[in-house]
Homo-oligomer: A and B are copies of this chain.
Amino acid sequence: MTDLATSFRADLPSWAIEHLATAPAAFDTDEAAMAFCTDLARRNQQADTGGPFAALVLETATGRLVSAGVNLVLASGLSSTHAEVVALSLAQTRLGRWDLGAAGNPAHTLLVNWRPCVMCGGAALWSGVTRIVIAGDGPELEVLTGFDEGPVHPDWIAEMARRGIAVEVGVGRDAAIEVFREYGARTDAVVYNARGTSRTD
C-alpha cells in the first residue's frame, strides 16, 4: 500500500486572512469578541467557505486574541474542520503545544457563536481551555439552519464543569441568531452534516 494519504491540512481562506489583519490584538469584553466572531461567521457563509460558524481562542484574563477559526468543511474537504476545531488547532499551532491549559501559562477561553456540536464539545474538552463562552444553547441553530448538533450529553454544561470548564451562555444572542436566519433563508446553502434531519427552508 503506497497510495495511502499520510498527512492532512487545513488553511484559512484568503478572505479570512485579509479580514483578520484588521482584528484587534485583544478584546476588552466578551461582547466585543462575540460581535467580531458573529461577523466572521456571517462572512464565512457569504464566502461559501463553510457554514455560518466561527470561533475565537482568547486569553481569559486579558482578552488577547490567540486564534480565530471559521468552519472550513467545504474549503478544506475535511468534515472535522468545524470552527471550534480550527480555532483550537490554530491556537495550538501558534503556541506550539497541544495543551492550552498547561501549567505556568495564561488560561484560555473558547468563544463560539452557538453551543458546540457533540464533536466540538469534545474537542474543547481535550484542548485545555478552561472557559467556553457561547451566544446561546437553544434549538434556534438547528431549527434555522438545518444543521444537526448530534447527540450532545443532556447535562453537557455540568459535564464540562466537572472537568474544569466553565460555560457562559447568552453573550450576543440576538446577533448570532440573525446570522443563522440569514443562512436559513438561502436556497443554495450546503448543509454538510445534517444526517437524519432536513432543511427547514
**Chain A residues near B (Cβ < 8 Å):** 1-12, 16-17, 20-25, 65, 67-68, 73-74, 76-80, 82, 85-86, 88-94, 96-99, 117-123, 125-128, 148, 150-156, 159-160, 162-165, 192-193, 195-196
Q: Contacts A7-B12, A79-B98; is A150 near B127 (CB within 8 Å)?
A: no
**Is there an interface contact between A7 and B7, defined as CB atoms closer than 8 Å?**
no
Contact B79 A127 (CB under 8 A): yes
B94 touching A77, Cβ below 8 Å: no
Between A65, A73, A128, A196, the greatest number of chain B beta carbons within 10 A of the residue's beta carbon is seen for A196
Contact partner of A77 (CB less than 8 A), chosen from B67, B92, B159, is B92
